[in-house]
Structure 1
Amino acid sequence: MKSKILSICAGLLCFTALKSQVGIGTSSPSPSAVLELNSVNKGLLMNKVALASITSPAPFTSHVEGMWIYNTATAGTSPNNVIPGLYYNDGTKWILMSINNDLPRTGDIKSSVLNADHDGWYILNGRNISTLPAIAQANATNIGLGTTLPNSNDRIIKGKNTSESFAATGGANSYSISQANLPDLTFTGNTASNGAHNHSYTNRGVNYWNYNAGGLTSTRTIDTETRTTQAAGDHNHTFSVSSGGSNTSISQYPKHMVVQYFIYLGK
């Protein structure tokens, strides 16, 4: 009797050791896995629950690190809101799982036609950072923002060069057209008519002119004298004026749509 009992116990121990890996759909589960599923037409259905927010453990009583669930609810307020999807718990909050390679990182910038903060994105409108949620304030400080967000209203975001500081704003609302912006043209024209006309000149030197008065011939110094051409002296004048321009074009960049700029500061 004792021999049979010992045999049964030994068999159970062997069964437990052999079955430390469980296979569903396979008779030879991986020795590195506690549980292995195998099927060509079935999948793993996660437990479905409705979360309230990423910070609330509900419907569980507390946060449990390593817990996996599928959330069915759209609930909470940004930045702690939840959307339907697969979540895991890190011991303090729920974290949405994603295989998207384009997930935003703190400090990323994007343009959008949206007009308000959303999903961890905060509009760059010059507001004080102290008005943001705590996590956004901390991330803003970590990436070197001062007391306010940059104001992107009516501005174009450009790359930083060595002469500019982070989040600096600049530019002007107007510009002047210089001579270089004018086309390189020469203007030529004629006088309106070729009729008789006169020219005035001033003689400032000591010149002697022959002057006949009565029957006497004498000379005198004339300071100013006017001479008038006659019909036979009809002539015209031309003039040329160069603009000095070099056909430098005026920049019309950018052709644009009206959007807002946002910075990602986390949620």
Structure 2
Amino acid sequence: MKKNYVNTLIGILFFSIVKSQVGIGTPNPSNSAVLELSSSNKGFLMNTIALTSTQSASPLTAHTEGIWVYNTATSGTAPNNVIPGLYYNDGAKWVLMSINTDIPKIGDIKSSMVSTDHEGWYLMNGRNTSTLPALAQTNASTLGFATALPNTADRILKGKNTSEAVAATGGTNSYTLSQANLPNLTFSGNTSTNGAHTHNYTNRGVNYWNFNAGSLSATRTINTETRTTGTAGNHSHTFSVGSGGSSTPITQYPKHMVVQYFIYLGK
């Protein structure tokens, strides 16, 4: 038996020296290939391991540039989390190989016409995270949503400023103008100063009326008297104009199209 092993080893070494290409399933491997696989009904099975994150070499002992593996695990914390797929090592980290340049990361947000959860994307409708799958719950918690997902219903997304917290909500869908909201302008008006017309008024001055009673003359005092102004003479009047308003709030939503918002929590 040992003799057979020795003969086989000698044969492999001799073949390796004589021919630098190895063919599996073909007697004539390409001169440009160290190893060529050939089969019409079988594929190449990459070695499978469970990575822990893109930054950790585990389960390898160290990062080694050029190594390829197929990862079977969903693990790690964004943005260094890993998902099942083919990875190569660049000497410092694991890199997921994909022809898709838009691979979602944990915490990514997208809008969609789809109305239900799909492919690791979860509708942001304010639901309790306890209703999510275990992986989605874990990733939601790492993003700060340990109790519930944000609710984007009837809301427009706004970029964060330095004083705001991510996922904070605010604003209103209507507002009412107050005096402070108006431009700093003065509106004034006067009636036309031309045009003759009359006004009645009561004169409360003292007027004297002379009359004769027989052969004696007398004076009588009149306390009030109604008189009419002359028809000529320019003058002005103040006036006010009612707006006719009812303080109805103004809807401030711009023209828009309704969509659903989703957050990626892994699959």
TM-score category (smaller protein):
0.5 to 0.7
When the two chains are superposed, the root-mean-square deviation of aligned CA atoms in Å is 4.7
Query: Is 1:233 aligned to residue 229 of structure 2?
Result: no
**1:211 aligned to which of 195, 203, 208:** 208
Listed one character per residue, the Cα deviations across residues 3-55 of structure 1 (whole Å, up to 9, x for unaligned) are xxxxx99676332345464266522535xxxx157xxxxx997847xxxxxxx
Q: Is the 8 A contact 2:173 2:252 kept in 1?
A: no
Q: Could you tell me which runs of 5 or more consecutive residues in structure 1 were left unpaired when the two chains were aligned.
A: 1-7, 38-42, 49-59, 67-87, 244-249
Q: Which position in structure 2 is the counterpart of 1:90?
A: 71
The whole-number CA distance in structure 2 between the counterparts of 1:116 and 1:16 is: 57
- Aligned residue for 1:99, secondary structure, equals coil
The alignment status of 1:263 with 2:263, answered yes or no, reads yes
Give aligned pairs, total.
205
Q: What residue is the counterpart of 1:133 in the other structure?
A: 133
Deviations along 1:162-212, whole A, 9 cap, x unmatched?
A: 222221111123200234457969575758x964322468x8xxxx74433
**2:10 & 2:227 partners in 1: Cα distance?**
143
> Which of 175, 196, 199 matches 1:197?
199
Secondary structure of 2:154 counterpart: coil
**Corresponding residue for residue 3 of structure 2:** none
The reply on whether 1:65 has 2:62 as its aligned counterpart is no
- Secondary structure of the residue aligned to 2:161 is coil
1:1-150 pair list within 5 angstroms: 13-19=13-19, 21-22=21-22, 25-30=29-34, 35-36=35-36, 47=42, 65=48, 89-91=70-72, 95-96=84-85, 98-150=98-150
Residues 96 and 213 of structure 1, relative CA distance in 2, 3 Å threshold = farther
1:111 is paired with a residue whose SS is: strand
Following the alignment from structure 2 to structure 1, what is the Cα–Cα distance between the partners of residues 41 and 266? 27
Q: Deviations over 1:241-265 (max 9, x none)?
A: 799xxxxxx8955321011111111
Contact map agreement 1:200 1:225 (CA 8 A) in 2: yes
- What is the distance in 1 between the residues matched to 2:132 and 2:47? 29
In 1, the alpha carbon distance for the partners of 2:104 and 2:162 equals 26
**Cα contact 2:173–2:253 (8 A) shared by 1:** no
State the percentage of identical aligned residues. Answer: 47
Once residues 102 and 9 of structure 1 are traced to their aligned partners in structure 2, the CA distance between those partners, rounded to angstroms, is: 49
1:133-161 deviation line (CA, Å, top 9, x unaligned): 11100000011113111111111110111
CA contact (8 A) 2:124 2:261 kept: yes
Q: Which has the higher mean CA deviation after the structures are superposed, 171-180 or 209-218?
A: 209-218
CA displacement at 1:109 relative to structure 2:
0.8
CA distance in 2, matches of 1:36, 1:176: 75
- Length-normalised TM-score, structure 2: 0.57
Q: Which residue of 1 aligns with 2:77?
A: none
- Measured after TM superposition, the shift of residue 100 of structure 1 is 0.7
Q: CA shift at 1:127, angstroms?
A: 0.6
- 2:31 corresponds to which letter in structure 1? S
Q: Is the 8 A contact 1:211 1:219 kept in 2?
A: yes
Deviations 1:83-142 (Å, cap 9, x if unpaired)?
xxxxx8534589356311111111111111211111111111111011001110000001
